[in-house]
Amino acid sequence: MKPEIELPSRIPVMTLPEVAFFPNVMMPLYIFEPRYRAMLQTSLKGKRMFAVAGIDNSKVGESAEREPAHSIASVGVIRGCRTQEDGTSQLILQGLSRIRLDQIYEDKLYREADITPLLSTQKVEQGILMEMRSHLLALVKRSWSTNPELPRELLQLVEGLGEPEEFVDLVTYSLVQDSNLKQAALATLPIEKRYDLLIEAFSD
């Protein structure tokens, strides 16, 4: 899936622990750190975009880089933002595209990175993807029946997504608890391989 907006080659980057941000999802964010307040102001004055990357725990302590980021992340566009009197902000970020962080720069209060957009691939027929979607949906419903605390509205939202890529990404973002599995799915460009990961996880 191609991003709906042309992406700049260099973009601000927010790093968050145990987070994998996906295209098409809506992520609420609370901005309070000075570095991210500055990043937000820059983004709002420009194309309203920044990237969200998970922190790569395998590199913590082994790299001089502050909060080492996973190389695969997503760019989002700010769809709504409310800034409070104390300077903090609440916003909604809509995912646009998977990206690769090619080079990270630390010359500002917040980080920036040169990026390369990444496009999903599909090596099976659409009908097979739809069958995989139906299989995963059945597993999700089975899991849902054992966890009544999950909101019914989320299941209805997931079930209503007919497009296979949007479906598997939203299931991963919303329902998978394992941050390593989320990151693995984010970094997997073949859509059918994402289904393989999720079907295996929900089958356990």
**Domain ranges within the chain, ordered by starting residue:** 10-118, 126-203
Query: In CATH, what number does 10-118 get?
Result: 2.30.130.40
Helix (H) or strand (E) holding 13, with range, is strand 10-16
The band of 63, judged by pLDDT with boundaries at 50, 70 and 90, is low
Q: Is 67 left (phi over 0), alpha (psi -120 to 50) or beta?
A: left
Helix (H) or strand (E) holding 36, with range, is helix 34-45
Token pair of 31 as six digits: 């901005």
Describe the crossing of helices 164-175 and 152-159 by its angle, rounded to 10 degrees: 160
What pLDDT does residue 153 have? 81
What pLDDT does residue 152 have? 79
The Cβ of residue 93 has, within 10 Å, a number of other Cβ atoms equal to 26
pTM for this entry: 0.91
d(C-alpha 53, C-alpha 123), whole Å: 27
Confirm if 53 and 76 have CB atoms less than 8 A apart.
no
Residue-wise pLDDT for 98-153, tens only, equals 999 999 999 899 999 999 999 999 999 999 999 999 999 999 988 887 776 777 78
